[in-house]
Structure 1
């Protein structure tokens, strides 16, 4: 009986040691998974921010090209109207183009900012200001 009791005691200690090992492995798993999750999150966030930045730059470039083309069309119409050698149909075209250009306004985002070449500069300024504030909170 005593021997059986000692075997039970020994077996219980082994089971408890195994149980402790399981929890140690679980803690290691949590740490590794947390590292992988945070690394994956930062990688996805970096890719997403890069994509958004690239799409914004492309959108601004094409918007600026469009604004430039509209300005050149208006200048061409004004120069051709000064020539006085145009038909009545051309005159209507010039007048219509000038009227449309008077009502033309640059694309904006909910009235907050215009989508033009200065948008990138404003965004970079805001990002820089934000980074400086974060660095100040970190190191001061």
Structure 2
């Protein structure tokens, strides 16, 4: 004795859809299809709801794929932020190098006997740098210099090791 189960898909005659509405619903249908969770399909200008069995299967697969995409999205965002911080650190280090170069040029000008106007300007530059030049920082929490990416990476590694130790504690 064979049991023949057919999945019934309902197609009503009062749900005809014109081309303009189909074009309007295309982005929604595309996004739902990309995440494997379409709620309906338009066949021969009629809206037909998806059956429950395929909805549950698509929900399980869709949630798995959504979790995978979310994980990749978080990794990409963190990588982008890390690259931005590295770029900022490089730019700040170039700025500090230029300031040090200007200080050494001013010191060299002061050691030579050049005009008094130039000497006065160099003394002012050196005094200003000595009195008020500080490295750029994020509200005094950490400074942006060439060692910042290395310090950030070491903090990430230490926290990862601690989390792995807690994970393998059992």
Query: TM-score scaled to structure 1, two decimals?
Result: 0.79
Query: Which one of the candidate residues 114, 126, 136 is aligned to 2:155?
Result: 126
2:128 maps to which residue? 100
Are the counterparts in 1 of residues 109 and 119 from structure 2 also a CA contact under 8 Å? no
Structure with the largest fraction of strand: 2
Greater CA drift, 102-111 or 31-40: 31-40
Per-residue CA deviation, residues 52-90 of structure 1 (Å, 9 max, x unaligned), is: 11111111111111101101111111122111x111210
Query: After the TM superposition, which residues 25-104 of structure 1 pair with which residues of structure 2 at under 5 Å, given as runs?
Result: 25-83=54-112, 85-102=113-130, 103-104=132-133
Displacement over 6 Å in runs of 4+? none
Structure 2: any 5+ residue segments left out of the alignment?
10-50
Q: Are positions 1:117 and 2:150 aligned together?
A: no
DSSP-derived class of the 1:78 partner: helix
Q: Which has the larger radius of gyration?
A: 1
Query: TM-score scaled to structure 2, two decimals?
Result: 0.66
Deviation at 1:18, TM superposition (A): 5.5
Structure with the largest fraction of helix: 1
What is the CA RMSD across the aligned residues, in angstroms?
2.1
How many residues matched?
A: 124
DSSP-derived class of the 1:40 partner: helix
Structure 1: any 5+ residue segments left out of the alignment?
1-13
